[in-house]
Structure 1
C-alpha cells in the first residue's frame, strides 16, 4: 500500500545519494568557480516554474531542477575568496549533522521527547562556556544567529533590572533591532563615544552612567563588542567589566564574530575579560565553520535565563518529571526548536579543537599579510589596521576630493560582484566608504589575497577610465 508523502526506501537512497554527490561536487570544485554574480530578479522569475504542482514527479528530477536553479543564483559565502561581510565557511561534517538532525526530525525543545539531544546540547554549551571563561554556574542555548542571541541576552538583562542600555556607534544593528522588538524606545538608549581605535570609551561611559544616576534613571545593561563587524575592534572588556561590577550593571558582550578568537594565541590580550561578562553572544556559523543557522547565547548564571523565559503549560506537565530534566524552552523563546548543537558537537569531535585553533589563526595571519601588501605600494591607504582577520582601506588619490575617492571606492566593490573572482564589499568609517576584507575561510591562501588585491587595483584603473592608475 502506498503511504502518502513517503518515498520508497530505494527512492530515498537514490535521492539521498544524489544530494550527497551534489554537496561534495560543490565543495570539491568551489575554488574553480566564480564567487557569484549580480542578481537579476526578472531573469530568475522567468526561469523558475511558479506553477503550483498538482501531481507527483520523480524526486531525482525535482532535485536536479532545484540544483540547476540554485547553482547560478547564489553568492557562495563559503567560497575561499568570499571576503565580504562576515563569511560563512562551513564543513561537510556540519552539513551531514544538519541532514541527520532533520532526517530524524529531532525536537530539541523539551526533555521527554529530546533527552539525548538536550544532554548533547548541554555538553556543547559547556565546551563553549569553558572556552569563553565563564564559571560552572553558566549555561546557554543554541539559537538561529547573533541577532537572536543578542535579543535573548538583553531580555535576560531587562528581566533582572529594566532600565537604560549603553551601546556605541559600532555596536551591531541587531542590538537596536532587538531592543525595538522588546519594546525599548530610543529614549532608553545611550550612544557612548568611541576612542581612536573604534572601541567604547570607558571614561565616557562612566560619566554617562553617573549622569543618568544623578537624574534618577536606572542603568541596566552595557553592550560591548568583541570583534565589530566594521573593523574587528574589541571593546576594552576588562575595564568595562570593572565598571559594570562597580555599578551593578549587566555586561553583555556581542562576540558573534570575534569571540571565536579565544582559541587563538595571536589574539593576545584582546579578549581579556570576556569571561567576566554576564552574557555572551557568539555565532559558530561564522568563525567556527558551521552551516547556517548556528548562533549561541551564553550566560554567567543560567538561572537568569530561566527567570526570563521559563514557562508552564498544562500539556507540558510531564516534561518536569525525571532526574534533573532539561527543557530548553525554559532557557529561550522557542518551544519548537531544531537540533542545532549537533553540527558543532560532531565537528569538534571529528576535527579536534587544535584544527579549529589553527584555522582561526590562519585567518588572522592572512589579514596581516593583506595589510603588508596594501602598505607595500602607493595604491592604498589603510584606514583601520588588521585586527581579528578584518582590515579596511581605500584607494589613494593624491589631491583628489573626498567625494571622488568615495565614488571610486564603491565602484571597485561593485566591480568585484560583476567580475566574480572574489567578492569585496564596503562599509563606512567616519561616514565615508572603505573597502573591507574579512578573511576567515580556512582554505583561503596567501595567493588568493595577493590576486584579490591585484583585482582591486585593476578595477580601480578601469573605474578611473582605463587610462592608467586611478
Structure 2
C-alpha cells in the first residue's frame, strides 16, 4: 500500500461548517479554498512520485478478487461530506492499489503501458482546464494541437497531405470509426461483408458487429505458420462472396498482431483491395508506432496505401491511458460519415477555418488527448522515443535467443515487434499436447501468484503459448532474464510433479514423482492461501 504520510491540516468533522481560517473545505458548496486545493494536489503528486520510486521493488499484482458486497467500497454514498484526505487515502488503498501494475518493469502480459511523467502531467493539466475538444470554438488551442499531432502521425506513416484523422480512446474506437467510414464509402450496406484473419484483435470483430455486419457476413480467414493473411485466400473468399451476392466493403489487415506481433503482407493486400475497390483498414494499434524507426520501414511496407489506420499512442509511445489515433488517407471520408448538423451546435461554426473534431468521429464531448503526446515529445525529443522503442525490440530478440538455447523452453514464434511466444517443453521429457497444455497453464498461474512478474498466454493454432510483450522503457535485460529463469524453474517443477521427469529432493538425491498432481503443495509456492487458485486454474 502506497500512501503519502505527509502532515495535513486539521480537518473538520463530518457535517460541520469550517471557517476559512482552518484551510478546510465548505460542505455546502462544490468548491474548495485555494490553500486546501494546493494541499490536496501536493498530496496526490507525492503519492504518485512515491509509487514510481517504489514500483520496481513491488509486486506486479497485489490484491484479492472481491466477490459480492464484501468490498470495502460497497456502501451507500454519504449524505454529508467527509475528509478529503481520508477519501484520497481510501482511493489509493482500496481502488487503485489492488490492480495489475501495467507500468511495472516486469509486466510482460497483454500490451502493457509505461507512461511518461509529462504525459501524466498533461492529463492533469487538460482535465484541470476542463477542455472539451468538440469544436474549434470550445477549444481552439487544443483543436489546433490535435491537428499538429495528427500531422506528425501522418508524416511518420507516409500519408499524403490530404489525409486526416482523429484522436480516440484507443484501438477499439479507432476501428469502429474506421468501419463506419468504410460502410459509408462502400455503397449498398445490404449483405455487407468484412474480412480479417484469425489473428485479428477482438476489437475489430466487435467494431464490425456494431456497424451491422451480421455474423454470417464476417469472414475470419485462417492464417498459416507465419500467422499472416494469405492474399490468395482473401481473393478466393471475396470472389466466392460476390458470386453469392454479398457486398465486400472492408478488409482488416494487422500491422503487429497482439498475439505474435505478426505483420500482414500489406503490399499484396493493398494491391488486391485497390483493384477490387474494397476499403483497407490496417489495425496498427500495436505496431504502428514503429513508423518512427527508420529501420522498421520494411516491416510497415505498404501501410500508407491503406484507406485507414489505427494506432495506439498508449502503447509504444508510452502515454497514459487512454489515447488512440485513427488516420484516413482522405480526410473527407470522416466528415461524410460523422458530420451531422444539429441546430444546437450551429454556433460552433463561428470562425471555424478547420474541421471540428466532433465531425470526425463518434464523440461530441472529447477530452484533450493530444497534449500528453505533444508535451512528452517536446520534453524528451524523438531520439529518446526511438531509443526506447528500439530497446524493447532488442530485449524481445534477446529473450527469443535465450529461449531457443534453453533445454527446458521451446520457442514458438520468432521475436516480432517486441513480442515473443514460447512454452515449457523440457527436452528430457516426452510430453503430449495435453500434458504440455496443462503444465504451461500451471506455469502461467505460478508466475502470476509469485508476484515477481506477469506474463500472459495466447493460443497459436490451438497450441497454448506463453507470451512476453517487452515494451516498457524501464525494463532491463535482468528483468527479462530473471523472469525467464523463474519460468524455467516453475516449468521443471510442474513437469516433475506430473511424474514426467526426475527432480532433486531436499537431501540431494533424485526421484521420480508419480502423483500426477500439478500444483501440489510442495511444488507450487503458497501466496497467502493462493494455492487453491492455482489448482482452480488447472481445472
Structure 2 length-normalised TM: 0.84
Q: Which residue number in structure 2 is paired with residue 16 of structure 1?
A: 41
Alignment partner for residue 90 of structure 1, among 96, 112, 115?
Answer: 115
Matched, 1:28 2:53: yes
How far apart, in 1, do the equivalents of 2:304 and 2:362 lie?
24
| Superimposed CA distance per residue, residues 384-429 of structure 1 (whole angstroms, 9 cap, x where no aligned partner) | 1100000101111432121111011111111111111100111101
Matches within 5 A, 1:96-175: 96-161=121-186, 162=189, 163-175=192-204
Alignment partner for residue 237 of structure 2, among 201, 208, 217?
Answer: 208
How far apart, in 1, do the equivalents of 2:74 and 2:193 lie?
51
Q: Which residue number in structure 2 is paired with residue 354 of structure 1?
A: 383
**Using CA pairs below 8 Å that are at least 6 residues apart, which structure has the higher relative contact order?**
1
How far apart, in 2, do the equivalents of 1:262 and 1:314 lie?
41
| Post-superposition offset of 1:43 | 9.7
Q: Which residue number in structure 2 is paired with residue 368 of structure 1?
A: 397
How far apart, in 1, do the equivalents of 2:96 and 2:336 lie?
45
| Superimposed CA distance per residue, residues 92-125 of structure 1 (whole angstroms, 9 cap, x where no aligned partner) | 1111111111111101111211111110111111
Matched, 1:407 2:432: no
**Runs of 5+ unmatched residues, structure 1:** none
Q: How many residues are matched?
A: 470
- 1:359–1:442 Cα contact (<8 Å) kept: yes
- 2:423–2:466 Cα contact (<8 Å) kept: yes
SS of the aligned residue for 1:86 comes to: coil
SS of the aligned residue for 2:281 comes to: strand
How far apart, in 2, do the equivalents of 1:450 and 1:38 lie?
26
Structure 1 length-normalised TM: 0.96
Q: Which residue number in structure 1 is paired with residue 14 of structure 2?
A: none
Matches within 5 A, 1:39-438: 39-42=64-67, 45-48=70-73, 50-70=75-95, 72-161=97-186, 162=189, 163-397=192-426, 398-438=429-469
How far apart, in 2, do the equivalents of 1:266 and 1:383 lie?
25
Cα distance change of structure 1 residues 229 and 117 upon mapping to structure 2, 3 Å threshold: same
- 1:284–1:296 Cα contact (<8 Å) kept: yes
How far apart, in 1, do the equivalents of 2:483 and 2:295 lie?
24
Which range is displaced more, 63-72 or 6-15?
A: 63-72
| Superimposed CA distance per residue, residues 267-315 of structure 1 (whole angstroms, 9 cap, x where no aligned partner) | 3511101111100001111111011111111100110001000111111
| Superimposed CA distance per residue, residues 132-159 of structure 1 (whole angstroms, 9 cap, x where no aligned partner) | 1111111111111111100100110000
Larger Rg: 2
**Runs of 5+ unmatched residues, structure 2:** 1-19, 21-25, 505-517, 519-539
SS of the aligned residue for 1:166 comes to: strand
Q: Which of the pair is proportionally richer in helix?
A: 1
Which range is displaced more, 45-54 or 327-336?
A: 45-54
| Post-superposition offset of 1:360 | 0.7
- 2:195–2:251 Cα contact (<8 Å) kept: yes
- 1:37–1:419 Cα contact (<8 Å) kept: no
| Post-superposition offset of 1:463 | 2.6
SS of the aligned residue for 1:83 comes to: coil
